[in-house]
Amino acid sequence: MPDSSQPQGPAAEGTDTGQRAEPSVQLRQVGFGDPLRWLSRGWQDFRRAPAIGLFYGLCFVAMSWSLLAMFEYSPAYVLALSVASCCWVPSCAWACTA
């Protein structure tokens, strides 16, 4: 009969009691002023190359309006596309990094 004081299953494999595994990702602290600094840097980038920013902005606006127009006529179709893209994009990202 297994000892109930020891962890069981996949989560317990490869772990020693009393030792913590080092995290594989180092996290940085985010200060209260950091988002404002990021916005300032983004505005500087936009001022250096406004055509690129305007192009992407117009693309997002056009896609939003087209989805809204499609939703008015066939909500099920838009829902299916949204669910499919939510499943497809992470799968492609996983496949590219694997």
Instruction: Tell me the percentage of the chain whose pLDDT exceeds 90.
Output: 32
**Angle, nearest 10°, between helix axes 50-73 and 34-48?**
100
Nearest CA-CA partner of 86 in 78, 74, 97, 98: 78
Amino acid 31: pLDDT: 93
Of 23 and 58, which is predicted with more confidence? 58
Domain ranges for the chain, please list them.
Answer: 35-97
Amino acid 7: pLDDT: 52
Q: How many CA atoms lie within 13 A of 72 on its CB side?
A: 5
| pLDDT tens for each residue of 2-50 | 555 555 545 545 555 667 777 688 888 999 999 999 999 999 999 999 9
pTM attached to this predicted model: 0.46
Q: Which 8-state DSSP code applies to residue 32? A: T
Q: Report CA Rg, the chain.
A: 24
Amino acid 51: pLDDT: 95
